[in-house]
A = this chain, B = another copy of it.
Amino acid sequence: MNKKMTSTHALKLKNSGVYPTAQRLAIADMLFDRHQHFTADSLQEALIFNGIKVSKATVYNTLKLFVEKGLVNELVIDSQKCFYDTNTSHHHHFYNIDTGELTDIESITPKMLESLSIPEGTTIDNIDLVVRLRNH
């Protein structure tokens, strides 16, 4: 498993113009095998749990770099901490404020918004739509 995966990830980094250092590869290995949501903190914990020691500064630097290069997306879901998503396709989110659970709403269209079907046992607290602009 590891040999092949690692080289795949190394290639993925190189193709995005990211020099594949040991730490970046360790982080890529943690993230890119499946789509997932995580925070800087949860990522570092997972690394440490797997015996990989990476400093906080490197975790933050690497995430910033991966976001710049389009390898992960930044999610503004909570005002207190930043979430990341390895699913970089255009999609949206359910966020359960009681459980903290974050799940994808794949390929929503404006029409679907009208009759959005939500997970069982939950009610909508609010819907936030934020259009982030840049000056050009």
Taking residues whose C-beta sits less than 8 angstroms from the other chain, chain A's interface range is: 35 or more
Contact A77 B123 (CB under 8 A): no
The distance in angstroms between the C-alpha atoms of A104 and B36, with both chains bound, is 31
Shortest CB-to-CB span from A80 to chain B, Å, is 8
Q: A79-B79, A110-B114 are in contact. Are A96 and B135 (CB under 8 A)?
A: yes
Query: Quick check: is A82 within 8 A (CB to CB) of the other chain?
Result: yes
Report the stretch among A5-13, A26-34, A125-133 that lies at the interface: A125-133
Q: A79-B81, A110-B113, A128-B128 are in contact. Are A133 and B95 (CB under 8 A)?
A: yes
Told that A96-B133, A123-B134, A128-B129 touch, could you supply 11 new A-B pairs with CB distance under 8 A? A76-B76, A76-B79, A77-B130, A79-B79, A79-B82, A92-B130, A98-B134, A113-B129, A122-B136, A127-B129, A127-B131
Contacts of A125 in B (CB 8 A): 132-134
Query: Quick check: is A111 within 8 A (CB to CB) of the other chain?
Result: yes
Contacts of A57 in B (CB 8 A): none
